Structure 1
Amino acid sequence: MQQRQLAENAAGHSNFGPEVIFRTLGEAPTTAPIIVSITNGSDGCVNVEWRAPPISNGQIVGYRIMVHKIGNGAMREWYLKGNRQALCSLAYFSEFMLSIEADNGFGYSPTVTQKFTTDQKSPEGPPEMIQIRPLKSDAVMVSWHEPLIPNGIITTYMIYYREIKSQRPYTTVRLLVKPDEPSKSFSYNVTKLSK
């Protein structure tokens, strides 16, 4: 905007003063950005894309992205210029809350939020606390707990066994885990062992 001033008294008014150019204070965006997509990308990363708020009250200069891990309160934050980003180094097979706010230089917009879950990854380590207990001359009970860091839902356990110093191939037992199995401890009777 432009402004000019003059002074006036009982005898008349003065000439105009110099022209002043000014800008009024702006207003933060009044609507939230729009999340377009959240997809699992490369190992440990989630790709996020969003659009500017419909009512931005000026040009958007950046976005504040926040990711909260649900359940433990851990939070990470980024400030970005563009409309897409790969968010990396997130825990595998975990639930997160994504929050995005737009910044137009005068303040932040309302927040848009969306939950997402990261991809699974192979378990980090073998089953825990493996124990073997003889049952009779040709049978043992094998028990174990799921790996300390399963990185997903365990669907199968494989038991391989053979006689010590045997040249024969291992005998393999494939055990499927029920999808709704709440237990983290398992056991299985291996029978018909060679004496």
Structure 2
Amino acid sequence: MAPDTPPQFLKATKLSDYEVKLSWEPPLKPNSDILYYIVRIWNETTETWQNVTGTSVIIHVDSESRYNASVSSWTRLGDGGVLIYISFTSGEAEPTDPPQNVTVVNVTASSLTLTWHPPTQPNGIIVHYTVYISENNTMTEKKIPVSNLPIPASHDSPFIYNLKRLIGGSNYTIWMTSSTIQGDGGVRSKPLTVLLPEDAAPLSAKHRTSRAPCVSRTAKPSRGSRPLVFRPPQTPGSL
């Protein structure tokens, strides 16, 4: 059978003013062994086709030009008529879409963790991400250079960043942008609203638990015996 789905996660990475790397992942439902991929690259004046057996290819481009690219996966029964497509530029430009799959995880009373993927159309090299945090009509922003982020474990692993020094019980709205040296393109991720749990309040004195005093029991005196009575010494140090 031919593939039911196209290749995944096609992206363009600028290597220089004249070279761009296209990379992708195999389709989810190839239905058979992938023999090769057909990569088509075109702009207003040129068009090229390449057969590629791997999941990446380096193409030569003209500086400051806008290109389109598509990739289809081929088995012995064809490509199923499904392909993936992107548009990119060989010069630096602003992103045309925001960070993808922005998610909030690991929420505590004073922190939360953000995860996200890069934009699918960065149109250049992403140099930093910006996190916008709105709370009680006050907005703050935090720029995160890509060089400060841990390198994702794999191609489809997200970036991870921990936001600290938040206030428990507060309602935060968070969104993100990504920027090349030309800017963020005015595109942002969908806002997320997060309510942090309250801080654990310290216990008041009446709610504190204390250890009960240790009470030793003496044997019940037998009939006819007198209990021993100890009196303190008359002078210090005497017995």
Task: Give the TM-score category using the shorter length.
Answer: 0.3 to 0.5
Higher strand share: 1
> TM-score if structure 2 supplies the norm length?
0.36
Q: Please, what TM-score do these two structures have when normalized by structure 1?
A: 0.44
